[in-house]
Structure 1
């Protein structure tokens, strides 16, 4: 989860882009609260200590959208980017698509759970049965790896050996001991076997995506269109080259004031594009895609972090979850499946004996979703009051939050496109999040979810 900033541009509140997600008209009494929230978020975006290039937010109260706004720029032109391009600035809007990082994992899980419903896969079956090769930690070779252990980051896989390879590379040639690309086996824990210890692992989602391909015969990005995006009527995708021209034109470039692939920050320097900068040339298709055999290696489609989608579209997903799997009159997923998905699977013991919380980021987990207990040291909002499930994201400058209280129908979505300074130095006061993330979530909660005017706007 990463973020950023730049000049402010407050965009219109919700428009009736699609009937299920049209915002009710707001009474005049709600306007002061909206204006106060606009101003507070704009101040965060333009804070000299931690500027953000762009910010798109959405709040849902009682199952209804009550606030939507965007600030900053999805693309920075030559005026402030150190002469990197000749195109004009492009403002962020509620329809701006962002590469949402690890929130993608929860979207992948929703697609997978549809396959569980259909009987194509089972959570506690050895994934070797689906992959067509034996996937076993050589240090715990008698213990199977299952979808459940992959979804809960307890599979014993690790990211030290990498987690994405070209389409021409088969996963079995990387993960199986003795295979051509196995190397020193850095992808396996030597100390904890499957089910024993939580360690956040991106590689697990590459395996999950490959399982999904193997059992359906469909390429991961196209499969997710069929299972999730198209049924919900959402614009988005897993690789920019596959986006229609109109959607590509809405895609945000992610920035940092940091050189690419290094830790060298310069808050006084230019914004440096990190990913999704197609100002000079259009995105190219992944090499080898024309001859790719689904079920070989889904990692280039990034089931772990590569979904490009807007905050508005994520709001449609959130409302579907709040409605027990219904989107209008269409059932996307069974209520019982969602209850299974969001049931608590793991809780950090507070000592590190059963998992690595990564400095407090990971305190509890469901199937493919983070869980946010409303307790001191891990509260999403200042003063507490908001317990949620969802996911966080951090990649290429972006930081993202998808947090929903499904029982009450309250939720917040935050997509911040990059920071001027290292967010690791912007320590939060009541959670592991950066302070600017805490400020955004607290402002949304107080003005849009907890305030009386927000309730009036949702009637």
Structure 2
């Protein structure tokens, strides 16, 4: 396996980075320049302005080809900012509407699609997932103990992030959307008759609900459950239940549904410069292959910040959002809600969101429930796997500081 796993980027890496930033005094001089500007609150329907936080220097510090950011507050997207190239080869610049791979931020959308079905009374969080699957999934070390929806969404299912998961080797990336049915993919790994099954590689010795371990496969399984319960493909389900109501017209798990000319080309950084990876796909797409833009992702974030409602459209009940925000198993993890997780950030307690990394993609989406501000950062390169990670957190800190002026 090459590079970091999504488990690493989703948990271990960000832990160290956020603690590093948290150690800095909130009153210390900014590490990222913020230009002077009006602090007056804009009207609720006003178009976003250009963020004042300087991005050109940050692009160089992050060592990514292109960058798109946004700040949400007062129930709307207040500003956007861009820098760099969506495709270095074509000299095509990033715009606010450029579509980026979301990597593990995708998990918050997959969880929302599933919880939409929960709102409709189609399952309960503590149900045995085997009651909804066409194939059984059991940890062979604890055959009598079921895996539940709650455990899948909190990385406590005992399903490992095993070798072929996480950040796939470059040679395993697909040149198109995966045509492998999720059912077949999951059966090959999670059932004894599967060709890739290895009990020791797939399951922990600890039983479901006994330990926390970030699991991409758990969210692929959550995506399959959404399909089975919803009676249609996850992308169609998410489009009908989330994207269309929220006005996210160019958001999809599959590149075939999007305008390639608006997609950021993923790039890997080598000693000789940026190398284009092509618009790839992955068979484990429900855990990381969503593509969207900052303004569209902002609508999704604002929905969650608004207790499940945005612009008069209710996606989730307020009680379901409250449950998703709740730390589910504090003895196992003091931060993990349902898909979303908490972090202390620059003196802020309980900033909630997710990060992500994949080949040629980095993402960051967090909000502060106390003051109603949130930030989004998207890039078509990797900042988590090298020394650039602190620069990403410093940029997010600057955006949170700017948010305080709106």
TM range, smaller chain: 0.7 to 0.9
- 1:315 counterpart residue number: 298
From 382, 403, 406, the equivalent of 1:449 is 403
User: Is the 8 Å Cα contact of residues 159 and 186 (structure 1) preserved in structure 2?
Assistant: no
How many residues are aligned here? Answer: 352
**Structure 1, residues 35-65: CA drift from partner, whole Å, max 9, x if none?**
4x23xx2111123xx4221110001233333
**Structure-2 change in CA distance of 1:437 and 1:184 (3 Å):** same
**Structure-2 change in CA distance of 1:93 and 1:393 (3 Å):** same
Answering whether residue 143 of structure 2 is matched by residue 172 of structure 1, we say: no
**Structure-2 change in CA distance of 1:218 and 1:301 (3 Å):** farther
What CA distance in whole angstroms lies between the structure 2 residues aligned with 1:407 and 1:114? Answer: 25
- 2:374 counterpart residue number: 411
What are the equivalent positions in structure 2 for 1:5-404 lying under 5 Å apart? Answer: 22-23=46-47, 35=52, 37-38=53-54, 41-47=55-61, 50-77=62-89, 88-160=90-162, 162-163=164-165, 167=180, 169=184, 171-177=186-192, 179-234=193-248, 235-243=250-258, 247-258=259-270, 266=271, 269-276=272-279, 300=283, 302-347=285-330, 354=332, 364-372=335-343, 374=344, 379=345, 381=346, 384-385=347-348, 387-404=350-367
**Structure-2 change in CA distance of 1:386 and 1:312 (3 Å):** farther
User: Is the 8 Å Cα contact of residues 175 and 187 (structure 1) preserved in structure 2?
Assistant: no
Deviation at 1:123, TM superposition (A): 0.9
What CA distance in whole angstroms lies between the structure 2 residues aligned with 1:21 and 1:413? Answer: 20
- TM-score normalised per structure 1: 0.71
- 2:175 counterpart residue number: none
What CA distance in whole angstroms lies between the structure 1 residues aligned with 2:379 and 2:349? Answer: 21
User: Is the 8 Å Cα contact of residues 96 and 252 (structure 1) preserved in structure 2?
Assistant: yes
User: Is the 8 Å Cα contact of residues 58 and 413 (structure 1) preserved in structure 2?
Assistant: yes
User: Is the 8 Å Cα contact of residues 59 and 410 (structure 1) preserved in structure 2?
Assistant: yes
Answering whether residue 387 of structure 2 is matched by residue 426 of structure 1, we say: yes
Which residues of structure 1 form unaligned runs of 5+? 3-18, 78-87, 259-265, 278-285, 287-298, 356-362, 428-433
User: Is the 8 Å Cα contact of residues 118 and 124 (structure 2) preserved in structure 1?
Assistant: yes
What CA distance in whole angstroms lies between the structure 2 residues aligned with 1:143 and 1:161? Answer: 25
- 1:253 counterpart SS class: coil
- TM-score normalised per structure 2: 0.80
- 2:365 counterpart SS class: strand
**Structure-2 change in CA distance of 1:300 and 1:190 (3 Å):** closer
What CA distance in whole angstroms lies between the structure 1 residues aligned with 2:136 and 2:268? Answer: 41
Deviation at 1:398, TM superposition (A): 1.8
